[in-house]
Amino acid sequence: MNKVVNIKVPLRVAFNNYLLLTRPFNKLTDREASVLALLLYYNETYKPNFKLDKDRWDKVFHYDTKLKIREELGIEDYTLQNVLTGLRKKKAVINNVIPQHFIPEFDDQGRFRLIYNFQIDG
C-alpha cells in the first residue's frame, strides 16, 4: 500500500525539506543542511541564466552568492567557510559542485518525488 502526501512549499523551503527528509542518509548537521539548501536553491534559480553547468556552479560558489547566504543565515564568513569544509568532507560538495545525488530533480510541473521502499526482514 502506498501512502502519498502532497506538500506545497516555496522553492527555498523545498530544499530544506528535502535535506531534512534525507537526513538519515546524508548525515548533515542543521547548519550544513541550511547552507546546502541555499546552495541548491541558488543553483536552481541560476539555471535559466547559464547554458554551461560549470559557469552556473562558478556563480553558485562565487563570493556574492556566499555573501547572500551569510546574510540570510546570519553567520560570519569563518562560520560559512567551516560549514563548507564540513560539506566537502562529507562529499556533499566536490570541487565546488554539488553531486547529483544531493540534488532533487523537478518534473515539468515543479515537483519532485522522494520515495522510500521499506522491505521488512523476517
pLDDT at 72: 97
Query: Does residue 81 lie within any of the structural domains?
Result: yes
SS (H, E, C) 2-53: CCCCCCCCCHHHHHHHHHHHCHHHHCCCHHHHHHHHHHHHHHHHHHHHCCCH
Has this prediction a pTM greater than 0.85?
Answer: yes
Query: Does residue 117 lie within any of the structural domains?
Result: no
Owning domain of residue 60: 11-102
Q: For the residues 9-24, what does the mean pLDDT come to?
A: 92
pLDDT digits (tens, 9 = 90+) for 29-79: 999 999 999 999 999 999 999 999 999 999 999 999 999 999 999 999 999
Query: Does residue 86 lie within any of the structural domains?
Result: yes
Query: Does residue 116 lie within any of the structural domains?
Result: no
Q: What are the helix and strand counts (H, E) for the chain?
A: 6, 0
Query: Does residue 58 lie within any of the structural domains?
Result: yes
- Provide the grid cell at 42: 541558488
- Tell me which long-range contacts 5-11 makes (C-beta under 8 A, separation of at least 24): 11/41, 11/44, 11/45, 11/110
Taking all residues of the chain, what is their mean pLDDT, rounded to a whole number? 93
Query: Does residue 121 lie within any of the structural domains?
Result: no
**How many domains, the chain?**
1
pLDDT more than 90, % of the chain: 75
Residue 2 confidence (pLDDT) above 80: no
Helix (H, G, I), strand (E, B) or coil at 113: coil
Query: Does residue 40 lie within any of the structural domains?
Result: yes
